[in-house]
Structure formats: C-alpha cells, structure tokens
Amino acid sequence: MQLWFAHGGEVSIREQLVTQVILGILSDDLTSGQRLPSTRELARRFHLHPNTVSAGYRQLERERWVEFRHGSGVYVREAKPEVALSAALALDQIVANFFRSARELGVPLAGVRSRVRQWLDLQPPDHFLLIEPDEELRRIVETEMRLAVTLPVRSCDLGKDDLGEATQGAIAVALPSKARTVRQALRSGAELLTLQVRSVPSTLAGWLPAPSSAMVGIASRWEKFLQMARTFLIAAGFESDALIFRDAKKPGWQRGLEQAAAVVCDSVTAADLPRTTRVIPFQLLSESSLAELRRYEQFIRSPLEL
C-alpha cells in the first residue's frame, strides 16, 4: 500500500495515517494478517515523529483495525470491525478508490491532479433544465419541480437547435420515456437526472371505492392525462356516465364542473379552478424523484460539513 503525508496541513499526521490505513483495509489494499511497516520504518521513510506514528497505530488497535503481536509488529486483524462509516471516511474511501483506479490505468499523479483541478474550477450548475418535447406535459412537470426546489427551473423542447448550449450551467432532467433520446442528444459524459412518475393507484387510493352516485370531473390541458384518468377511474369502479371530461385548452372548459363532487386534475390546471371546487390534484412526479432533486440541490449549495 502506498502512503502520502501532507506536512503542515489542516489534518494532523496521525489522522492522515489512521485514515489511509483504514481505507487500505476497506479496499483490500491491506489484507487480513498483513504486517504494517514498523514505527521506526515509517518515521524514517516519511520524516515523521515516532510518537506520532505510535499514536496512530494505538488508535487503530483501539478501533480494532490492527493488532500488536509481541516481538513481531503490527498486523491487520483477521476480521474488519463492524462500524458505520462517517461521511468523511466514506468520502475518503471514494477518493482512495478513485486514485487506485487512476494508478491501474497508468495515469500519473500529476495528470490526476490536473484533471481534478479542472473539474473543481468548473462553475457549479445554478438551475434545473427539463428537456421534454410535449409542451403541456412540460408545463405540468416544470410546475411540480418549482414547488419542490428553490433553484430556478427552466425547460426546453428536445428539438432545440443547440441543446449543448442550453444545458450549460444546468442540471439536465428528463422523464423516463424520453431519457434515452435525451441522453443521446446531450454531449458525451453529460449528466442526466431521470425523474420517475407517481403511481396512479397509490395517489387515488384514498378516494376509493367510488360512490355509485358520484359525479367526478377530470380536467387537464394534457390530452394523455385525460386518457389516463378515464382508464383508471373506470377500472376503479366509476361509471363512465358519471365522469365529466374537460380539455383545459378550450374556452369555457370550467363550465359544468360545479356539478362534480370533485375534480381530478394536474398541478397546472388546479390553479385555474374556482376555490369552491373540491380539487384532487394528481402529482405526476414520484416522491422519490422530488427527494432526488432536493438532494442534488443540497449537494450543490451546502458547505463542506464532514
């Protein structure tokens, strides 16, 4: 196992030693029963104080990563301790695996540093960009995204002339049905978040079973929403004659909906219904996708707290 030590940095030499040994054990660079360099050997090779090395080894022994064998030296224990990795240690493990992969590829350390520096110097994205060719669906998803995150949300058609330019400084987002096509249109290596759609049965489960006499309205500017709602509501036991369908793109679409016990609609149409109407807004995006958007936003905005 190769070791590095940064003298005079914010992280103590002892902590650097302990972390690198633990990462070596977790990644199997250091195997069970393997002998570690002696305190004197490490101190001489890296110009370290012997007491610092000894303190690091004692900490590793207390945490059950290594064991001292009298008259023989320090060895990796046969079994790894069952511990939960801290965020800092987990991140260190990712970095260590990255450097190991670079070594296996034959990339020199100077080249790794240069590429990492280029990535770190990039301006972090400052908005989400939804790429969706269906204009009405795009409006609905964009509205739901804006309600879930604080970063700006923009959108564009997949057929935009310069999609590469549009995604500059953006977190590209697409729905599952378009993810493959969008990924092919993006520049090589560009990241794409794929949003998942919410389950219709789970969303409407609280409103079932349907009262036999209930009149229900279904309103949306998106034609497929109307089709989807019709299919599910009839399958769930609603009489087709008790369903009132309204295309919200047409003039006077709200007429007659006051007769309905409730109106099932998308998040955009919900805002255009009278407050006296009992609205059942159907959210297209799943909770897991909304949570993923928030995590990505937090990843970009949060300060380092490890």
Tens digit of pLDDT for each residue in 213-257? Answer: 678 899 999 988 888 888 877 777 777 888 899 999 999 999 888
Please tell me the CATH code under which domain 200-281 is placed.
3.40.50.10190
What band does 305 get if pLDDT is binned at 50, 70 and 90?
very low
CA 267 to chain CA mean position, Å: 24
pLDDT tens string 49-102: 999 999 999 999 998 999 999 889 999 998 888 765 666 677 777 777 788 788
Evaluated on CA atoms 235, 238, 239, 243, the torsion sign reads negative
Q: Say whether pLDDT at 303 is over 60.
A: no
Contacts of 179 (CB under 8 A, 6+ apart): 192, 194
Question: What's 17's DSSP letter?
Answer: H
pLDDT tens string 158-183: 776 667 777 888 899 999 888 888 88
In the structure encoding, which two tokens stand for residue 219, read together? Answer: 């309103």
Choose between 160 and 144: higher pLDDT.
144
**Domain 13-118's class?**
mainly alpha
Q: Say whether pLDDT at 212 is over 70.
A: no
In the structure encoding, which two tokens stand for residue 296, read together? Answer: 């990505």
pTM of the model: 0.64
Q: Say whether pLDDT at 204 is over 70.
A: no
pLDDT of residue 103: 82
In the structure encoding, which two tokens stand for residue 136, read together? Answer: 């009405």
Mapping DSSP onto H, E and C, the string for the chain reads CCCCCCCCCCCCHHHHHHHHHHHHHHCCCCCCCCECCCHHHHHHHHCCCHHHHHHHHHHHHHCCCEEEECCCEEEECCCCCCCCCCHHHHHHHHHHHHHHHHHHCCCCHHHHHHHHHHHHHCCCCCEEEEECCCHHHHHHHHHHHHHHCCCCEEEECCCCCCHHHHCCCEEEEECHHHHHHHHHHCCCCCCEEECCECCHHHHHHHHCCCCCCCCEEEEECCHHHHHHHHHHHHHCCCCHHHEEEEECCCCCCCCCHHHCCEEEECHHHHCCCCCCCCEEECCCECHHHHHHHHHHHHHHHCCCCC
Q: What is the rounded average pLDDT of the residues 279-304? A: 84
pLDDT of residue 49: 93
pLDDT of residue 233: 77
What band does 118 get if pLDDT is binned at 50, 70 and 90?
confident
What band does 145 get if pLDDT is binned at 50, 70 and 90?
very high
Parse the chain into domains and list their residue ranges: 13-118, 127-197+289-301, 200-281
* Contact by Cβ (8 Å): 250, 206: no
pLDDT of residue 161: 61
For residue 266, the SS3 value is: coil
pLDDT tens string 248-291: 999 999 988 888 888 989 989 998 988 888 888 888 898 899 99
Q: What is the rounded average pLDDT of the residues 117-122? A: 74
* Contact by Cβ (8 Å): 239, 233: no
In the structure encoding, which two tokens stand for residue 166, read together? Answer: 């549009």
CA 27 to CA 292: how far, in whole Å? 28
In the structure encoding, which two tokens stand for residue 26, read together? Answer: 């977790």
